[in-house]
Amino acid sequence: MADHELNNPNEKRTLTTCCGAHVIHDGLTDVLYVLLPVLAQTFGLSYTQIGLVRSAYRSALSLFQIPAGILAERWGERGLLALGTAFAGAAFIGLGMSSGFISLLIFLFLAGFGSAFQHPLCSSLVSRAYQGGGRRGALGTYNFAGDLGKFIFAWVVSLAIAAGLSWKIPVGGMGVMGVISAALIFIMLSRAGAGAFAADGENDSDSPRTVGWGIRDRRGFLALCALGILESVTRYGFLTFIAFLMIEKGASHELSTTVVPIVFIGGMAGKLACGFLADRIGVVRTIAVTVLTTGGGILVLLAAPLVAAFVLLPLIGVTINGTSSVLYGTVGEFVESDRQSRAYGLFYTLTTGSGVLAPLGYGALGDQAGISMTMGIIGFVIFLCLPMCVILRPSVEE
């Protein structure tokens, strides 16, 4: 216990830095939800094209998270995280100068490549820093920071557009912020002594290196991945098309840019609270509560008038975003310490891969069946998590 207490300053520095990185990357990633109605109106996009715009970013995330995790085992998280952050920021600067549909796709793919380093590397850093205790709460705090970034960036862009500014101005400014933050991330992790080269002694040289993926509980890990995929399909689908549902209910295009930021208000509370709630009442119970509340909330939202729907948005945000804190915080329990980056890369690849397919599939469905029917199906899909909870239960301590 004494050794654990002595490490607390560096643990806190590591967590603070990773939270800062999460603010930047999730802010860049999810500000696109606010831009979708504006881009659709500007470029005359169909629902299918909207899904393709959203998936361009997610496809790069899906492709490069496992390589990022594996590279971190040899080169350390510190430099790779800073490099990825700088690359994402530079891509957003390019996005701010974009003039057409194809250039949107290219710069979003490049930004997704840069952001692919953040989730697996930061999750690994936090998970290892708190392996002596408080891991799920620390990862819940880290996830809360991501939603704080989503909220801040989304509102900045929403207010800028409402003030009459071109969407390109705040997007370019956020790109500059990303480049600057890359240097700060490297400096702060250096001060914390975290994420160095493996050769620098961060890993215990007396401990044998794990062979393969280091997954101790394959059944539990696969069940967790299945839950992550279903949760991500629901969340990405909902966030991509909720503004268009509100437009169908009578919201103006200007008002529709506030829809996702309102969801993120609840999402911030959910990300922070659900990780700690899982420590108190158990992983499976927490997931069951968030799944039932999310699915039920989406179905009620469909029937609600516009004003009532706006009131429901932050409530749905609590659970639709909070579930992920429970899942992320549990990954480390099934994996050896020296394979955390790789395992998180695999987990995020599977869940982010669903984020590539969900907007495409739901966008095509929206073009054929309408946005209300599409949102109803999104609400029902999340209930498939319940049988997965039964499979996960034997693998977690309740």
pLDDT at 209: 57
Which amino acid does the sequence have at 99?
S
User: What is the DSSP track for 88-102?
Assistant: HHHHHHHHTT--SHH
pLDDT at 8: 65
Contact 231, 385 (CB under 8 A): yes
Specify the length of the chain in residues: 398
CA distance 303 to 372: 10
CA distance 77 to 38: 36
For the chain, the 3-state helix, strand and coil shares in percent, each to the nearest 5, are: 85, 0, 15
pLDDT at 338: 72
Q: What is the pLDDT along the chain (398 residues), one digit of tens a residue?
A: 334 444 467 788 899 999 999 999 999 988 888 888 888 888 888 888 888 888 888 888 888 888 888 888 788 888 899 999 999 999 999 998 887 888 889 999 999 999 999 988 998 888 888 876 677 678 778 878 887 888 889 889 888 888 888 888 999 999 999 999 999 999 998 888 887 765 444 444 454 555 567 788 888 889 999 999 999 999 989 998 999 999 999 988 778 888 988 998 888 888 778 877 887 888 899 999 999 999 999 999 999 999 999 999 999 999 888 888 788 778 878 888 777 777 877 888 888 788 778 888 898 898 999 999 999 999 999 999 999 999 999 888 65
Q: Is 163 helix (H, G, I), strand (E, B) or coil?
A: coil
pLDDT at 3: 42
pLDDT at 388: 92
Contact 346, 298 (CB under 8 A): no
pLDDT at 198: 52
254: which residues sit within 8 A by CB, 6+ positions away? 161, 162
pLDDT at 210: 58
pLDDT at 200: 45
Q: How far apart are the first and last CA of the chain?
A: 24
Phi-psi region of 134 (alpha: psi -120 to 50; beta: other; left: phi over 0): left
> HSE on the CB side for 114, CA within 13 Å?
28
